[in-house]
Chains A and B, each alone.
Chain A
């Protein structure tokens, strides 16, 4: 499987030492962007394994920190053109941003990049199981229903993504400042996807703070959606009872 890399480099034509090294690597798909805005727009649409920010230490770490606010689980590496100060290093460490110096001989840089990629490959694959340290809330649907958890997060005005995993599949629900904006389950979207998730009584869930999605498929408050859902459940139970009786 190919590793997907998104590289932020303001001058990819002239500052291409690292790009040339990435070019030569096998099983690596890379995409280059010039601005942080472009990078965030692409990261919202597509999934990448690693986000590489190239440039001067202060600027690159600032941009990486900005990206971290939107994508808490993303692996981020800064390729630094110059030495970073103590404060910026501390900031990078706090934000879990790896730093790799770029102002070194090509051979040394190639070694560092290979090491970085191989280390990254060894540690990937845990996020889907819900044990990523970035998940601010992890739990089981046996103890709390999806409706209860969503109510709690809406009340506390959270922004982020809920992932529900059950035997029926995975669904995602996006919250923006305590409002449910988007839900997706397989080919279902919006209220239909949410209603399906409400029915699950077994499975796991986790919440990733700060992850946003521009798509809006839900525009009603959670209370209305829950009422609708309860009504439908009652009708379902009633019709099931009638069938049994008859």
Chain B
């Protein structure tokens, strides 16, 4: 038996963290002034990812009780990162601020993901212990 609520939270947060990692890849490319020009296909993929994050962030963060802490920061970051071209044109300070904001959100997600995985492990240990106890007492009852 697995805890459905816990599994649901884990799935949502894993998906969200994956999208944030992909966002970081795009940010890195855009903010690296030495990188080759940004192609139309890259812009299209970035817009697709941004659309996914805009749609899902509110739902995922509220499910995980992280809205108060992260929703404002998340929407703020997505509003500043309108396109890869726009990110490339950011000043040095703005670019650093964008990366720092990304890091704050990602670090919090990572921490919560770790906590959820720990809870899953504890749940599984408790379940195994309960099963062992049940097996231990079952033959006695049969004999009686």
Could you tell me which A residues sit within 8 Å of B by CB distance? 12-14, 16, 19-20, 23-24, 26, 32, 34
Would you call B25 an interface residue if the criterion is a C-beta within 8 Å of the partner chain's C-beta atoms? Answer: no
Q: Are B2 and A19 in contact (CB under 8 A)?
A: no
Stretch at the interface among B4-12, B80-88, B106-114: B4-12
With a CB–CB cut-off of 8 A, which chain A residues contact B52? 34
Contact (Cβ within 8 A) A20 B59: no
**Is the C-beta of B60 less than 8 angstroms from some C-beta in chain A?**
yes
Per the bound structure, the CA–CA distance linking A23 and B5 in Å amounts to 10
Q: Give the chain A neighbours of B59 by CB distance below 8 A.
A: 13-14
A12 to B13, CA, bound (A): 12
Cβ-defined contact, A20 with B56, below 8 A: no
Question: Is there an interface contact between B56 and A26, defined as CB atoms closer than 8 Å?
Answer: no
CB–CB B2/A24 < 8 A: yes
B15 CB-CB contact with A under 8 Å = yes
B2 and A13 within 8 A (CB): no
Q: In the bound complex, what is the Cα–Cα distance between A16 and B14 (angstroms)?
A: 14
Partner of B2, one of A12, A16, A23, A34: A23
Distance between Cα atoms of A26 and B55 in the complex (Å): 31
Cβ-defined partner of A23 (8 Å) among B4, B15, B56, B60: B4
Verify A32–B15 contact, CB threshold 8 A: yes
15 further A-B pairs in the complex, CB-CB below 8 A; given A12-B15, A14-B59, A24-B1: A13-B15, A13-B56, A13-B59, A13-B60, A16-B8, A16-B11, A23-B4, A23-B7, A23-B11, A24-B4, A26-B1, A26-B2, A32-B11, A32-B15, A34-B52
Q: Which 7 residue pairs of A and B lie closest in terms of their CB atoms, listed nearest first?
A: A23-B7, A13-B56, A24-B2, A24-B4, A12-B15, A23-B11, A13-B59
- Number of A-B residue pairs having CB atoms within 8 Å of each other in the complex: 30
Pick the contact of A13: B1, B4, B7, B12 (CB < 8 A): B12
B59: nearest residue on chain A (CB-CB)? Answer: A13
Residues of chain B within 8 A of A34, CB atoms compared: 52
* Per-residue contact bits, chain B 1-38, to A (CB 8 Å; 1 contact, 0 not): 11010011001100100000000000000000000000
With a CB–CB cut-off of 8 A, which chain A residues contact B15? 12-13, 32
A14 vs B4: C-alpha distance in the bound complex, in angstroms?
16
User: Could you pull out 23 A-B pairs where Cβ atoms are within 8 angstroms?
Assistant: A12-B11, A12-B15, A13-B12, A13-B55, A13-B56, A13-B59, A14-B56, A14-B59, A16-B8, A16-B11, A19-B11, A20-B8, A23-B4, A23-B7, A23-B8, A23-B11, A24-B1, A24-B2, A24-B4, A26-B1, A32-B11, A32-B15, A34-B52
A20 touches B4 (CB 8 A): yes
Q: Whole-angstrom distance from the CB of B51 to the nearest CB of chain A? A: 11
Could you tell me the distance in whole angstroms from the C-beta of A2 to the nearest C-beta in chain B?
13
Chain A contacts for B4, CB-based, 8 A: 20, 23-24
Which residues of the partner chain A approach B56 to less than 8 Å between Cβ atoms?
13-14
Taking CB atoms and an 8 Å cut-off, the chain B residues in 35-90 that contact chain A are 52, 55-56, 59-60
Chain B positions within 8 Å of A24 at CB level: 1-2, 4, 7
Complex: how many Å from CA A23 to CA B4? Answer: 7
Task: Return the chain A residue nearest B52 by Cβ.
Answer: A34
CA distance A20 to B1 in the complex (A): 13
